[in-house]
């Protein structure tokens, strides 16, 4: 290890003695540079106000104070030179640069903190914004005003008011708190807390907020609203309502002028005219055309007082046809549940014009114990009850009796309903049936029929009568002599396990 010489050791000691002195001088210099400048004043008359202290001056007529570029005017004042503060009376006016103009009848100003306290008929004018209140604290250096006894703010066409709040003049930002009201020719906003930028005309909602328009209502607990463009982003229990629809969700984006909306998570669109609800986690909506698209856990609900219909698909859409009637479309993995009717298919269309539900790509329906299937099914409803059902191509109806199955097969079928119950089936082309008649509740045989056309009557979900047309062939096998191959018709497929038995099952 190298040795430090005596000369070097002395140099190091001297350096350590010098450093504190340098630091002290630096701190003194910094403190001096940060020292607040004294308030300067002018007046027509200056008096010593000895009763208030030897360092107090009373100023009268044409009084003007100047502090670091800010000028303050009044009719009379007391200046406390030892405290670098003042009290100003009557026709108080503070001018800060070219933009901020502050008026009142009384001013107390602390030069050390650059804090002004203004009272009585207070008015702060900054560019296009005017704030009026009874009391205001205003920091000259930071450009921040604070009020606690209600204020009115006018910015172009908007009138804003609240019980307390902050005004940041340098950033043109208001922070309104408690009983906030924003009034505009096109809307009124009520909020518990709202930030408003007077330059951008954007309001930021930080608490429960309501917006009332001519024909709309908006609610949220977080979000923002651009007053210039009428565009809003609404979060937390968000809701947008007009004369026809109500839209809710965790997050809603809404353009009031175009009527376009976008929702994320727990979105619900309620159509009060059609008694229809659309739900999902992703949605877009066009108000003018009544177009909506829902994805991710999408659900369609047709509301009735007694028995609503619930349907799920990968994608749900609503739009208007050329005549202005509502269309509801469902695409891919469609399932629906109603207490007396359930079904599944690949895609579906419902038209409010004719109350017809059209199911595509090998749909299957269940009504009571009957399973109905075809390449295409068309269900006509009246007063939201099944009236007539058309099964097109490869039509098949199956119902289970113990371990056996009644079966009806044909090219096309027409099913007729009374009080929402199936009572008649017309089979056209290639008609075939297998059903098991009973006597006193005991199955007596297997009746197989082949006929071009059939008419089948149903009571309590069971075949009660059969009318055969055009060269019928029928045979009744005793149960102990029924050939196994005679128990099922060609293309038989029983898929009871796919049947939605509850509302929750439509999502399985």
Domain boundaries, the chain: 242-361, 367-508
pLDDT band (50, 70, 90) for residue 472: confident
Residue 170, number of CB atoms within 10 A of its CB: 11
Phi first, then psi: give them for residue 493, nearest 5 degrees: -150, 110
pLDDT for res 9: 35
- How does pLDDT run across 151-188, given as a tens digit for each residue? 999 988 889 999 999 999 999 899 999 999 999 888 89
Structure tokens at 223: 């979000």
Q: Give Cβ neighbours of residue 98 (< 8 Å, ≥ 6 apart).
A: none
Is 353 a residue whose pLDDT tops 90? Answer: no
Is 28 a residue whose pLDDT tops 80? Answer: no
Phi first, then psi: give them for residue 487, nearest 5 degrees: -85, -25
The shares of helix, strand and coil residues in the chain, as percent rounded to the nearest 5, are 10, 65, 25
DSSP-assigned states of every residue in 67-89: ETTEEEEEEEEEEETTTTEEEEE
Q: Domain 367-508 carries which CATH code? A: 2.60.450.10
Is 24 a residue whose pLDDT tops 50? Answer: no
Mean pLDDT across the stretch 101-118? 96
Number of H helices, E strands in the chain: 1, 40
Find out whether 269 and 294 touch, Cβ atoms under 8 Å: yes
pLDDT for res 427: 93
Is 128 a residue whose pLDDT tops 90? Answer: no
Q: 137 or 340, which is more confident? A: 137
Angle in degrees, CA 110, 111, 117, rounded to 5: 30
pLDDT for res 36: 65
pLDDT for res 8: 39
Three-class SS of residue 505? helix
Is 18 a residue whose pLDDT tops 60? Answer: no
The beta strands (E) that lie in 361-403 are given as: 364-367, 370-373, 376-382, 385-401
pLDDT for res 43: 93
Domain 242-361 and domain 367-508, same fold? Reply is: yes
Find out whether 406 and 454 touch, Cβ atoms under 8 Å: no
Find out whether 191 and 220 touch, Cβ atoms under 8 Å: no
Is 13 a residue whose pLDDT tops 50? Answer: no
Determine whether 104 is exposed, middle or buried from the number of CB atoms within 10 Å of its CB (0-12, 13-18, 19+).
Answer: buried
Is 130 a residue whose pLDDT tops 70? Answer: yes
Please give the Cα distance from 64 to 70 (Å, whole number).
10
Please give the Cα distance from 275 to 387 (Å, whole number).
20
Is 31 a residue whose pLDDT tops 60? Answer: no
Task: Tell me the pTM.
Answer: 0.76
User: To the nearest whole percent, how much of the chain has pLDDT over 70?
Assistant: 93
Find out whether 190 and 165 touch, Cβ atoms under 8 Å: no
Q: Which fold has domain 242-361?
A: lipopolysaccharide transport protein A fold (2.60.450)
Find out whether 268 and 298 touch, Cβ atoms under 8 Å: no
Find out whether 275 and 303 touch, Cβ atoms under 8 Å: yes
- How does pLDDT run across 184-243, given as a tens digit for each residue? 888 899 999 999 998 888 989 999 999 998 888 999 999 999 988 989 999 999 998 888
Mean pLDDT across the stretch 420-447? 87
Is 365 a residue whose pLDDT tops 90? Answer: yes
Average pLDDT taken over every residue of the chain? 87
Which strand (E) or helix (H) includes residue 329? strand 326-338
pLDDT band (50, 70, 90) for residue 503: very high
Find out whether 262 and 253 touch, Cβ atoms under 8 Å: yes
């Amino acid at each position: 290890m190298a040795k430090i010489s005596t000369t070097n050791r002395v140099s190091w000691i001297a350096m350590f003695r010098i450093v504190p002195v340098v630091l002290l001088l630096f701190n003194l210099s910094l403190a001096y540079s940060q020292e607040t400048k004294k308030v300067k004043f002018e007046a027509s008359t200056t008096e010593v106000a000895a009763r208030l202290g030897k360092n107090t001056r009373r100023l009268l007529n044409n009084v003007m104070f100047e502090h670091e570029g800010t000028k303050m005017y009044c009719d009379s004042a007391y200046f406390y030179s030892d405290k670098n503060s003042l009290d100003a009376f009557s026709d108080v006016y503070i001018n800060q640069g070219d933009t901020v103009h502050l008026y009142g009848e009384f001013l107390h100003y602390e030069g050390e903190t650059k804090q002004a306290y203004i009272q009585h008929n207070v008015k702060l004018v900054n560019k296009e914004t005017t704030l009026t209140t009874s009391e205001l604290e205003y920091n000259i250096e930071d450009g921040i005003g604070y009020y606690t006894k209600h204020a009115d703010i006018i910015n172009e066409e908007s009138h804003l008011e609240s019980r307390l709040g902050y005004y940041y003049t340098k950033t043109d930002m208001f922070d309104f708190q408690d009983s906030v009201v924003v009034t505009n020719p096109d809307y009124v906003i009520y909020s518990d807390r709202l930030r408003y930028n007077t330059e951008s005309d954007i309001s930021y909602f930080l608490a429960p907020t309501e917006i009332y328009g001519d024909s709309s209502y908006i609610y949220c607990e977080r979000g923002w609203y651009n007053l210039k463009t009428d565009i809003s982003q609404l979060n937390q229990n968000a809701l947008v309502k007009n004369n026809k629809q109500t839209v809710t969700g965790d997050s809603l984006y809404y353009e009031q002028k175009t009527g376009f909306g976008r929702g994320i998570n727990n979105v619900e669109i309620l159509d009060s005219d059609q008694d229809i609800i659309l739900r999902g986690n992703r949605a877009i909506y066009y108000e003018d055309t009544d177009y909506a698209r829902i994805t991710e856990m999408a659900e369609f609900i047709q509301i009735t007082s007694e028995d609503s219909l619930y349907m799920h698909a990968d994608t749900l859409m609503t739009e208007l046809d050329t005549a202005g009637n509502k269309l509801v479309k469902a695409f891919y993995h469609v399932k629906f549940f109603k207490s007396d009717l359930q079904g599944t298919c690949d895609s579906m269309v419902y038209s409010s014009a004719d109350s017809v539900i059209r199911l595509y790509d090998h749909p299957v329906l269940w009504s009571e114990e009957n399973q109905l299937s075809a390449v295409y099914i068309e269900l006509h409803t009246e007063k939201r009850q099944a009236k007539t059902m058309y099964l097109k191509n490869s039509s098949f109806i199956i119902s289970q009796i113990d371990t056996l199955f009644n079966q009806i097969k044909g090219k096309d079928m027409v099913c007729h309903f009374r009080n929402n119950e199936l009572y008649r089936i017309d089979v056209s082309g290639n008609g075939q049936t297998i059903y098991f008649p009973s006597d006193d509740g005991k199955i007596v045989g297997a009746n197989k029929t082949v006929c071009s056309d059939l008419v089948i009557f149903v009571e309590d979900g069971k075949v009660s009568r059969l009318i055969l047309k055009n060269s019928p062939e029928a045979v009744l096998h005793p149960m102990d002599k029924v050939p196994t191959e005679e128990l099922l018709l060609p293309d038989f497929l029983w898929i009871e396990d796919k049947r939605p038995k509850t509302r929750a099952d439509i999502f399985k």
